[in-house]
Structure formats: structure tokens, C-alpha cells
Amino acid sequence: MACGATLSFMATDYPRIAIVTGATSGIGEATAKEFVAAGYAVVGTGRTASKLEALETELGAAFAGYAGDGAAQETIDALFTLTNEKFGGDPDIVVVNAGRGLGGSVKDADLTEFEDMMRINVTGAIRLMQKAAQKMAESQKTNFPKKAADIVVIGSVVGRQVSPFSAVYGGSKFAVHSMAEGLRREVGPLGVRVTTLAPGIVISGFQEVAGYGEDILNTFEEKFAPMLVGKDIAEAILHVVSLPPHVHISNITVRPTRQDYP
């Protein structure tokens, strides 16, 4: 369901219009805030309506929230409808961020939540990528190279480096990286930039949902501190989408300086 006020603005009121999934915490919330601070309009989604309403109050008319299941096709379709209703146009930035973790190795991970993780991380991601790509490929027929169109896909370092302690989650991110690269090769020639951003360890609510224990978090802190937070990744995303339309950073990895592996 949509949250907050019903004021509408034309697309010309904002230089860019963005959709950000998983906007109620961590990287997604920080990205929404960075975009609004840069003057962009943002539609953000998450499961917690009260959090989205709080963001609408905090960020003002440039942010509209939609509470729903980020992996569901009806939610994804509603986000594109909402950008038109609130901001007068389709998005030219889509940040594919919604996801969840699942700690553990292939041998030992608790697989009772495996299907839910794959649905959110993989099925939801490809649904959003496909919808964004179809819209942007059409608009860039007339907009490129005057205007940029960006699909930013949040992957993970464990989607590039096999990590035994996070192999099951990493498998979902290997899939996401593969789909994003396939999409880049398809729509890059049409003027649509597809960027895969692979964060290292970012401290957020992700660890609790993934089932990481206090001992693992303490190990992270001991080995890798100072740790990354959502704002660090959001600033990297803002940099990527702010480049001239003919310049594309297609892959980027952001780690805490002391994180040697993965």
C-alpha cells in the first residue's frame, strides 16, 4: 500500500526519479536519503509501513513510500505506477537492493528459510531488473546520450569469492551477479547502464535476519573495524549514477579497508 500524502509533482521538478527497494533499513534507507539530498525524487519500498511513513515525514515531498512484498510482481508494478502518479514519469534509476541473508555453509546452513531467501534475492531481483530494463530501453531510444538511465544491482563480495561461512547466501548473489552482467550486455548498447555493486561487510539489520551470532559479529569487529555502514555504500551508488551518460562503472566492490577476504 502507498503511504503518506497525495501531492503530485511533474518529472521536470526533479533531475532524476529513482526506485529503491529495501528502503526501510541499511543500504536502501541510506541510498534513499542520499538521493533526496542530491535533489532526486525517490519511491522506496519495504515491508514496514510505519518506517516508510517516518521516512516520508523526514524526507518530505521528494520521497514516497510503498509498503509491500518487494519480490511480488504486483508490488514491483505498483512502484512504477507510483513514480508516475507522484512524480510525473517513469524512474531513470532503479536500485535493486531488497534481499536477505542466510548464514552458514552448504553442509550446516539451516535450509528451512532457503526458499524464502531465493525468492527475495533472486526471483524478486530479476522481476525488478526485467521491468526496469523494458521501461528504460524504450525511453533511451530518444533520451540517450542526453540522459542517463541506471539499474544498480546490490550484490555481495560472497557473490564473487566463495566463502564457506556464507556459501548458501553467496550462491544467491552469484546468481544475481550473473543476471546483472547478462542484462548489462543486453541493454548497455541501448544506452542503459547496469552496475553491480558488491559490498563487503556492512553493519545493519542484515546480520540479525541472516542469523549471525554475537560471536561472528565480534569477530568481524575485531578483524575488520572500522566497519562499513549503509551511508558508505549509498555514497558509492550516488557517484555511479551521477556520472555523464556515456560513462559507466559496471562493477564496483566496496569493503572495509581491513577486510582482506572475502
Q: Provide mean pLDDT across the span 123-129.
A: 98
**Each residue of 231-258: pLDDT tens digit?**
999 999 999 999 999 999 999 999 999 9
Work out the percent of the chain whose per-residue pLDDT is above 90: 86
Query: What pLDDT digit, counting tens, does each position of 27-50 carry?
Result: 999 999 999 999 999 999 999 999
Mean per-residue pLDDT over the chain, rounded = 93
Predicted pLDDT of residue 199: 98
Element (H, E) at 87: helix 73-87
Indicate the pLDDT class of residue 215, thresholds 50, 70 and 90.
confident
Instruction: Name all contacts of 171-175 with Cβ < 8 Å and 24+ positions apart.
Output: 172/99, 172/117, 172/118, 172/121, 172/122, 173/121, 173/198, 175/121, 175/122
Nearest to 66 by CA among 58, 74, 126: 74
Asked if 117 and 70 touch (Cβ cutoff 8 Å), the reply is no
pLDDT at 5 over 50: no
135, 94 contact by CB (below 8 A): no
pLDDT bucket at 217, cuts 50 / 70 / 90: confident
As assigned by CATH, the class of the 11-254 domain is alpha beta
Region label for 76, one of left (φ > 0), alpha (ψ between -120 and 50) or beta (otherwise): alpha
